[in-house]
Amino acid sequence: GAVVSQHPSRVICKSGTSVKIECRSLDFQATTMFWYRQFPKKSLMLMATSNEGSKATYEQGVEKDKFLINHASLTLSTLTVTSAHPEDSSFYICSARDTSGRSHNEQFFGPGTRLTVL
């Protein structure tokens, strides 16, 4: 199957700093990528849909000024957690949809980024 990478895999930062997480589709082009957040022992919650060349669509309750999404190319989407606070500590997972036709629009998930805000 197609491969999606995330960088970094782990990040620890101080409260008030901003953190950027990258999501890359390595062997396919992804016009649409998705960002999820997962708290310990909980399920994945969709945060936003990232569309190449246009503004992201945020789910209800997700602050767009807090979680900045940039999908500047067909293989890269970034999520920036601005002015991070301890409650932003979570596991952030991205997925990318392969629209090439070879995988029926299947979504492929990255390995996740664990953010810890001190």
Q: Is 106 in the site for another protein (CB under 8 A)?
A: yes
Tell me if 34 contacts another protein by CB under 8 A. Answer: yes
Q: Residue type at 52? A: E
Site string for another protein, 62-101 (x = CB under 8 A): -----------------------------x-x-x-x----
Length of the chain measured in residues: 118
Determine the interface stretch with another protein among 13-21, 57-65, 71-79, 81-89 (rule: CB under 8 A).
57-65
Is 32 near another protein (CB under 8 A)? yes
Joined together, the tokens standing for residue 28 give 């396919």
DSSP line for 1-66: ---EEEE-SEEEE-TT--EEEEEEESSS--SEEEEEEE-TTS-EEEEEEEETTS--EEPTT--TTT
Contacts with another protein by CB under 8 A lie at 1, 32, 34, 36, 41-46, 49, 57, 59-60, 91, 93, 95, 97, 105-112, 114
